[in-house]
Chain A
Amino acid sequence: MSTAHSTGLPRRHWLYSIVGTVLLFLVLPVCIVIPESFSDSKYLSFPPPGFSLKWYSAFLSSDDWLSSARASLVAATLTMLFATPVGVASAYAISNLGPRFQRISMAFILLPVIVPSMLIAIGIFYVYIRLSLVNTMLGIVIAHSILAIPFVIVTLLSALRSFDLRQELVARSLGAPRFAAFWRVTLPQIRPAVISAALFAFIISLDEVIVSLFVAGGNNMVLTRRMFVALRDALDPTIAAISTFFVVVSLAVLGTVALLSRKR
């Protein structure tokens, strides 16, 4: 293993073994999910007693699961499409504002990260009951966007900070309208950050449980909510199959993004 910096800092075998153990700890549950999804047992047991594809067919042949998968994908896509531009606009504004304003706006934007999610969930739930937004796709997208926007903004801010905003000014001074200057000069340079922010938004929506437990039921019951309900009824490997399915979907999204950004 080579290191980028030869610093003379303590770098001993015990360090490698600690890091190795921690990394193993991190991937361990993921490692058992995939084999578990091919189990032939009705219960969650490891190692699986035998091989079977029945949990995939249970997932793919169930209208309930499929409609939830659809609801989840729609919610995640819409959240991504909504939270990303809102986040880009805010990050751009924040990086252009004075330090005092920056401090206040950041504290505000980061509220969803600071406030315990259960409190956000029942707060949104309370407001949604009055606005009849419970179980609507609009409501789910708004709720998920609120949770995603802080991550989008933080990701973009660090990119904007390393970008010299004077470049945009030069473009404007050469006569480019403001928006065009942003679109042609700034955006292309922060594009990797925009893409990872969008992916963040997608994943946050896809994996969100707590708020969804309150506001994402009925015809728009997202997968996490349905999994939570289903797990009360039967702890079988269907959820492992779905999760494996989603790892594949996520990898496909990532791969597509990687391919697209290479093409340009």
Chain B
Amino acid sequence: MRPAAFLAAAVSLTIATSAVAAEKLSYVTSGGVYLENIKKAFLEPIGKKLDIEWTIETADNDTQVRVQVASGNVTYDIVEFGASQCALGASQGLYEKLDYSIINNTDLAPGSFSDYYVGSTVFSIVIAWNTKTAGANPPQSWADFWNTEKFPGTRSLRKTARGMLEAALMADGVPPEKVYPIDLDRAIASLRKIKPKIKAWWLSGAESQQFVKEGGIDMIGAFNARMDSVASDGAPITYTFNQGILDFGCWAIVKGSKKGDLSMRVLAEFVKAEYQAEMSRLSNYGAANTKILDTGKISPELAKRLPTAPDNLKRQIFANPEWWVQNGAKAIERFDQFMAE
């Protein structure tokens, strides 16, 4: 091809591509396998439908959101974090108010949405154990987990207040339905009893998997989907949904986003059962949308393993978002204090 012709072709090509250029929207979440599934279940189909070109960024915390809101230079649009981060951010004015005339929340699980965020995936902190070392006599409740004499073995818990305070109360004999409002003193006192027996506290899901696979941990309070995946990799791990503590991920629109309207329309798609069902199918996570089973995408086998399956749901408790919004900061401070003891 002659240079001039080549140039002309190149120019026309750029014009052509810019003519169909989709609108850009940024999506922020933690990366890795989770993001891969989010792409397949949500971003790709919805991007096609609404003609959106995604700019995906990974972030392990919401610091960037704070930076952008504080500096007024907002480049993020939609973010996905854990519910505690969404709730904290919402109370600090990091997110836009959601318009529920656009987003249909009728099918969403109660408590999984608020004025500033909507639920994405639902997961549970469950009691898991190594079937080789603890399989003969596995713990079936947090009280068992706390009872190191009857249930010997090395233990690991999550290094966060959310979830662990609830577990500590149940271990101390508080019935699941009476966990909220959390009695902080009692919860910390209960945690203090188990602390000397905790070999390691995990922070990330990856750590919890490494701990049970290679780290010599016999019993752990960890995310159900993480334990599923480590089991499917051949580790002798199983778990019970008994007294599992359900929590959820959530989407929010960053305050000052330049694509607020489009983001709202995207969230309206995100909460639909068809996409959320696909995510559950890919990831073993439950969904905030309670109608995912009606889509026919979930096999009966998988349905049984989801934390949101009716049989499992009734054995677990939901981390109470309202309590955490109001008391989260204080609870986290107390937990941090306790961890440093």
In-complex A–B contact (CB below 8 Å)? yes
B213 (CB) vs chain A CBs: closest residue: A43
Other-chain residue from B60, B75, B209, B233 in contact with A235 (beta carbon distance below 8 A): B209
A219 (CB) vs chain B CBs: closest residue: B57
B70/A233 in contact, CB under 8 A = no
- Given the interface contacts A132-B71, A218-B64, A232-B60, does A44 sit within 8 Å of B210 by beta carbon? yes
Proximity bits, A102-142, B CB within 8 Å = 1, else 0: 00000000000000000000000000011010110000000
Residues of chain A within 8 A (CB-CB) of B58 are: 64, 221, 226, 229
Proximity bits, B191-213, A CB within 8 Å = 1, else 0: 00000000000011111011001
- Given the interface contacts A44-B210, A45-B214, A134-B67, does A234 sit within 8 Å of B60 by beta carbon? no
B135 contacts partner chain A, Cβ-Cβ < 8 Å: no
- Given the interface contacts A132-B71, A214-B63, does A234 sit within 8 Å of B233 by beta carbon? no
- Output the least CB separation between B20 and chain A (Å): 22
Size category, A interface? 20 to 34
Residues of chain A within 8 A (CB-CB) of B31 are: 64, 226, 229-230, 233
B209/A230 in contact, CB under 8 A = no
CA distance A7 to B310 in the complex (A): 81
Other-chain residue from B32, B57, B75, B213 in contact with A230 (beta carbon distance below 8 A): B32
Interface residues of A in 194-229 (CB under 8 A from B): 214, 217-219, 221, 226, 228-229
CA distance A234 to B58 in the complex (A): 14
Proximity bits, B59-75, A CB within 8 Å = 1, else 0: 11001100100110101
Residues of chain B within 8 A (CB-CB) of A191 are: none
Residues of chain A within 8 A (CB-CB) of B19 are: none
- Output the least CB separation between A80 and chain B (Å): 27
B214/A234 in contact, CB under 8 A = no
- Given the interface contacts A64-B58, A218-B64, A229-B31, does A234 sit within 8 Å of B206 by beta carbon? yes
A43/B209 in contact, CB under 8 A = yes
Choose among A44, A214, A228, A233 the residue with the greatest number of B CB atoms under 10 Å from its CB: A233
Main secondary structure of the interface of A (DSSP, over half): helix
CA distance A64 to B32 in the complex (A): 10
Chain B contact residue count (CB 8 A cutoff): 26
A249 contacts partner chain B, Cβ-Cβ < 8 Å: no
Other-chain residue from A217, A230, A235 in contact with B207 (beta carbon distance below 8 A): A235
Residues of chain B within 8 A (CB-CB) of A64 are: 31, 58
- Output the least CB separation between B70 and chain A (Å): 6
- Given the interface contacts A214-B63, A221-B58, does A235 sit within 8 Å of B71 by beta carbon? no
A43/B233 in contact, CB under 8 A = yes
Residues of chain B within 8 A (CB-CB) of A234 are: 32-33, 206
- Output the least CB separation between A228 and chain B (Å): 7
B338 contacts partner chain A, Cβ-Cβ < 8 Å: no
Interface residues of B in 269-324 (CB under 8 A from A): none
Residues of chain A within 8 A (CB-CB) of B203 are: 232
Residues of chain A within 8 A (CB-CB) of B32 are: 230, 233-234
- Output the least CB separation between A251 and chain B (Å): 29
Residues of chain B within 8 A (CB-CB) of A219 are: 57
Residues of chain A within 8 A (CB-CB) of B205 are: 232-233
B180 contacts partner chain A, Cβ-Cβ < 8 Å: no
- Output the least CB separation between A86 and chain B (Å): 28
A235/B30 in contact, CB under 8 A = no
CA distance A4 to B203 in the complex (A): 52
Residues of chain B within 8 A (CB-CB) of A218 are: 57, 64, 75
B214/A232 in contact, CB under 8 A = no
A235/B70 in contact, CB under 8 A = no
Interface residues of B in 201-245 (CB under 8 A from A): 203-207, 209-210, 213-214, 233
Given A229-B58, A232-B30, A233-B33, 11 further pairs, Cβ under 8 A: A42-B233, A64-B58, A132-B71, A135-B64, A218-B75, A228-B60, A229-B60, A233-B31, A233-B32, A233-B34, A233-B205
CB-defined A-B contacts under 8 Å, sample of 19: A43-B209, A43-B210, A132-B73, A134-B64, A135-B64, A218-B75, A219-B57, A226-B58, A229-B31, A229-B58, A229-B60, A232-B30, A232-B207, A233-B33, A233-B34, A234-B32, A234-B33, A234-B206, A235-B210
